[in-house]
Amino acid sequence: MRLSTRAEYGIRILVALARAEGEGPQSLTAVSRSEKLPHAYIEQLVRDLRRASLVTATRGKTGGYQLARPAAEISLVEAVRALDGPLLEMPCAGADNLETCDRPQDCSVHEVFSRVHDSLEETLSATSLADVVATAGGPPYPMAVRRRRAAQHAHLTATTAAAASAEKPMPAAPAR
């Protein structure tokens, strides 16, 4: 299972724009340089972001892109949907829109996949660009991650997985 690089790059772009919030339009070349991403490719992606109204563009020599809304009000799930389509793309799984399962009556996995989809949606919509920017200032990541994992593992053995999930500090408000 993997998230497309489209979504990954897209998020990186948005985060870069979020960092420069209020500083006016950022040119794509600047972003591509700072994030080390291929300019020509990025261009496609940012187009989709604009069409999804996550970003606004201004043309001309001093032009560039900026977030269409405050970073705190843009959740990652919007970015992923804009670039990647449905969160969990499977014939038989509470997809984003409707169910297109070919075994309508007795599909064993339908329920589970819907659950997976929902959990993805939850985690992604619970994180805003502002959150990402905020955490990104912290300690080097492998460390932070490992510390988090350790703490969580302790909980997992003591209580249930669901309970542990609820205890994780999930910073911000969903955008919608």
Residues found near DNA in the complex (CB under 7 A): 4-6, 9, 25-30, 38, 40-41, 43-44, 46-47, 50, 57-65
Report whether 2 contacts 80 (CB < 8 A).
no
For residue 76, state whether it binds its own copies (rule: CB under 8 A): yes
Report whether 88 contacts 112 (CB < 8 A).
no
For residue 38, state whether it binds its own copies (rule: CB under 8 A): no
Please choose, out of 42-50, 51-59, 65-73, 125-133, the segment that lies near its own copies by the rule CB under 8 A.
125-133
Q: How far apart are CA 32 and CA 37, in angstroms?
A: 5
Q: How far is the CB of 152 from its own copies (least distance, A)?
A: 7
Residues 131-150 that bind its own copies (CB under 8 A): 132-133, 135-136, 140-142, 144-145, 148-149
DSSP assignments along 101-150, one per residue: -SS-S--TTHHHHHHHHHHHHHHHHT-BHHHHHHHHTSS-HHHHHHHHHH
With CB under 5 to 8 Å by kind, the binding choice for 163 among its own copies, DNA, none is: its own copies
With CB under 5 to 8 Å by kind, the binding choice for 10 among DNA, its own copies, none is: none
Query: Containing H/E element for 156?
Result: helix 141-158
Q: How far apart are CA 25 and CA 48, in angstroms?
A: 17
Q: How far apart are CA 109 and CA 101, in angstroms?
A: 10
SS3 170: coil
Q: How far is the CB of 96 from its own copies (least distance, A)?
A: 11
Query: Interface residues with its own copies (CB under 8 A)?
Result: 1-4, 7-8, 11-12, 15-16, 36, 76, 80, 84, 86-90, 92, 94, 99, 101, 103-116, 118-120, 122-127, 132-133, 135-136, 140-142, 144-145, 148-149, 152, 156, 160-166, 168, 170, 174
